[in-house]
Structure 1
Amino acid sequence: MKLKWKTRLKNVSFMILFLKMCLIFGQKKIILIDPGHGGKDTGAIGMYGIQEKKVVFNIAKEIVRLNKMVLNDKFEMYLTRYKDTLISLNDRAYLAKTLNADLFISLHCNASQNNAKGIEVFVHNSDSRFTNEAIELGLAVSNETSGKLGFKTRGLKFANFQVLRETIFNCPSILLEIGFLTNIDEANYLSSVGNIKALAMCVLIGISNYSN
């Protein structure tokens, strides 16, 4: 009788462990997309008056939409802002910690007084256990945008940006500078709704490739 009960308890324990493992492996990665600037902070203003805050917000919304419509909600995605409001850098980082985000991706556009162009990815240079993963994430996204869309790659660089500094010890985090609004070709590209969708898809594919 005791032997039977022991066997049953072992079976129950195994089933509980199995269910826990299923829950762990079945959990979606939580990804926080951070469209930079907002509200009174327009960010860079480029050719034809194109505003950085609007471009990155449109890309961010499209990433979330494509995750739902194309990837069937593969990821659990959130934005740091859902309208044209200014969110402090502290609050953006705090939201990543509160959500226990698995990835943090901050979207920006560049500006320059010369005719610079291309995409840059920034990672915080720290001794965090997530630094190498952030580099891998940054390269995965950069490779997609340059490989499929033909953007010049300006490389992966280290920077002490606040949103990176305050998130890198919680999860892999990158800051993506998507083209130069002061470059006429890239400003034209970023003014097109179809191109915004293509950019968002490439960023999403890069995230997915990294996560697989």
Structure 2
Amino acid sequence: MTRILPGVIAMAAIVVASNILVQHLFGQWLTWGAFTYPFAFLVTDVMNRVYGPSAARKVVFAGFVTGVICSFIGTQIIGEFGPLVTLRIAIASGLAFLTAQLLDVAIFDRLRGGKWWRAPVASTIIGGTVDTAIFFTIAFSASLAFLEIGNDVGWANEVLPMLGSGPNAPLWISLAVADWLVKMAIAFVALVPFRLIVTKLSPNPA
């Protein structure tokens, strides 16, 4: 456990920071949390490359527990429009994180024998896409309103041009697309720290 403690701490820090920063808008389509959360995939991939999939899964579960605690705290804090974290947000966040991160671990492990960049790129792109799809659909889709009858997400289902200039779609689709684009950009930016950290921690980073 000691060897993966830095990974556990890093994952917990990213989850806590993202839960705080998601409360603050960045432009019209994003929150500041969109720029910190994708680095959870970097932590998972580094742990997977250096210590293997079992260690990576332990780090993922540590992040999941941290997220559950953050969600519980958020439900107890009442903001201008009600609790900072609703039941739908809590379910969406937990399910998206756990599913996407474990998928990331599995894909990375399957591709670990190829070029050094292939496993982190493929696992992060697929994991990040699944994460975005699960979170925004569960949290905001009108078709899942039965999950929390008292939570009005009508604002997220207002039909507007996608990202301000595309075809008409519910607002939450624009939010999801913007979030996904950030995840994809960071997936490639994170290759630099991935290579540097793995090289430092492992004598055989390939």
TM-score in terms of structure 1 length: 0.30
Bigger Cα Rg: 1
Q: Higher helix proportion, which one? A: 2
Q: Higher strand proportion, which one? A: 1
TM-score in terms of structure 2 length: 0.31
Higher relative contact order (CA 8 A, sep 6+): 1
